[in-house]
Structure 1
Amino acid sequence: MNKKKVLGFTMAAVMAGAVMLAGCGGSTGTGGNNSTPKSENGTSEADSKEAGKVNISFSLWDEVQKPVFDEIVAKFEEEHPDIHVDVQLTPWSQYWTKLDAAMGADSAADVFWMNTYLPKYAEAGVLEPLDSYIEKDTIQLSDYVDVVARAYNYNEMQYCMPKGMDTVQVFYNKSIFDKYKVEQPKEGWTWDDMRAAAEQLKSQITKQGSDEYPILMELDPQPSFFNFIAQNGGYVLSEDNKTAGFDQAETIKAYQDIIDLMDQQLMPGSEVLSDTKGTDLFLSQKGAILFMGSWKAAVLDESSFASDIGTISMPKKDENNHSVIGGLGFAMNAASKEKDAAWELIKYLSGEESNKMQAEAKIDMPALISAQKYYTPNFKHVDANVFFEAAKNGELFPTSPSVADWLPSVNEISAKIFAKELTPQEGCQQMQEVTQKALDSES
């Protein structure tokens, strides 16, 4: 562990957290008025603890998922009457800043959600390695989808138990294809097949004076361009995470392919997509084809035209049609004073009953293979089996210890490419320089 990096992490975290907390009223710290500290859900810390029990805390960021996790934790407490869990909700916009500040002050939750930022926190030494706990309780990581389990193994140490995962695929509006007498997509289709169908749709839409878009996507890494980079045979980061791949011809082409769709009016330009999300346009029945992640499946399944929504794997590009896979894990605070209780909670949260409840509520695709059978039957219209097919050959969302430094820049520069403020070549060169500099700083 690099001590200078840890010190830099904690000091910067405390300063950043102080600024953030000042802006939101100091909801998790002791204010200047010596008021009783409050937990994330607004109750006092004294009220949230139960006498005679081991008290631990669990932090998450999704308000949609919190009610389900309240139920899961209640079941956990029934089975573990000697443990009380304080479930803390912090909105995504504040989650990482608040976590950094709490880590720096040794006051972070005992258990918390973790995502692609894991290398940063593992390098800082603030995550508890789970290998000894897993071995002691003979947990089999092979019971989980391999790519997700591997996502939380860093430097040959397991830092999280898998929660769920998400994949990217295509949703399409059958009624729009039928309206314009264009053949619906079929499994095994290619990028050229998609373009041909989009051109037919565009021709008919123009002829009839209508306003639908043949193709929609959200111009963010996971639902669009990170997939296309991999599908062209390129990479964002090399396998050893030492080299950025934005200067490759395959990466530049991935951006150019999106620009070409915009130029040919087969999908809206960034002036539209920056104001209105592609998914929202699709939900308004303004699009025939939508590239989108499984995390929107429940919303689509409950839409007014859900019976007209088809689901299919992404079209194959130059090399493949692999999906970039994201997901979450349950991490333990290395500074927790109740690690045994924290592990019992993590074990339960990543176990069968918890995954079953999450799957039945459609809030997450289980990474636990045995619990996947509970997920798909809850969809009335959307074919969720496609998601699990995409997971079989999916590729991890690229990450490194400096991901918090280079990924925001990649997003900003990518937006400039799509807005045509930069050419794909110019933008990719800038992203290469920023990302490689961040990677070099890790050594």
Structure 2
Amino acid sequence: MTISDGKITSDLDSAINRYEAALSAINKASNPQPEKVLEVLAARDVLSATLGRTPQPAPESLITVLQLDDRLKEQAESINEAANLGRWRRSFNPPQAAWWWYIDELQTASKQWDWLWELLSVACLVTTTSFIASIQPRFAVGGVGITEAFGMLSHSGLTLLVAGGSFTKGGQQFVQGLLKNLKIPLKYQSEVTTGLSAIMMLSALALNASLPLLAKYYSQNGQKNLHQGLLEQAGNNLDQAIALDPQNADFHLYRGEVYEALLKFDDAQTAYQTALAGNKYKAFNNLGRLAFLKKDYTLAEMMFRLGLENIQTDEVKYKLYKNLGWTLLQKKSYSEAIDSLKIAIDIDEKQAPENREGLAHCILFEVLQAAKSDTESLETEKQKCAENREKFAASREFDWYTHTLQRLGAIKAAPQQPPPTQKP
């Protein structure tokens, strides 16, 4: 190696060292000063010139230059924020081959599709906010659980955060700073924001799709409360279920039963009619029961007969025939009452012994007694009624009738006393 070659090699090493030092200065500064950026560009100019007059640069030196150039490209965001490269180019007129003077244009080229990502973000956010706006009021009925409240608030907060980053300058700066702290390069931030918007939209869609399941959960709790006699809690849970899935006729039917247990017969009737509009024909039995309690036996008979025209399941048909027989007893239509109750008994006896109710035998005994029927039939039904007393005493409908009638009697005897809030 000649002395001249040694000098060139030394110059190349010096240029590389200067370039590396200038890059390190930018890398250490969170907000580099313009003069620091200018030093990087000048150092790269010197390095380019030195490489141009170096006949055979060492491979190690070339690899180092490539690595340093990669570092420079990684600092493009900081450089663009600190320097007005367009004005500098007009002053110094660098050649097109000096790509480091045009690093802002290189970055702009890589972000030419940002408008599309931002458009997709806006579409996702509009969809998300519309779903949240329609879902959130539904949780304000029966009280929101901790899990639901946290999920809704966090979802809404994230939506507002990303929306602010899309629609406002301050929001954009905040989101950019946040993503920068997460080590996400600026050139990918539009894509990341779009991804977050899409995730929120999908989660909002998933939440909306899960509303019927959540409504069923509240309904099950309401039914459990109803059986326990916790009527206020039952009402709250069923109100929440209806708010989440208002088209579910079962929920309105159960809500009507809570109203009925509270002796709010007008509200119960409205709930049963809503269930009936949703093709829940079991509501005919409940509407007939209400009419029976109000001693409107003509309306009760009509409801029970309409139910028999629409319902096929043995469980409900048994109740309808039994209640129809009970109603006909009140109307002193003994022959029709006997026919109806015998059909109910036939349906009941087709069930497994442990599932039979037996109450129809007791009503039939009352009918036969009122009709002054033959003693043999009377004694038979009396015996079967006694045999099944333990079963039908635990029957929900029997419990419903006896306690409701007792409470109605108590209210008539002492009208100044408000009805109890729980079943006895």
Q: TM-score, normalised by structure 1?
A: 0.20
TM-score, normalised relative to structure 2 = 0.20
Quick check: which one's strand share is greater?
Answer: 1
Which of the two has greater helix per residue? 2
> Which is greater in Rg?
2
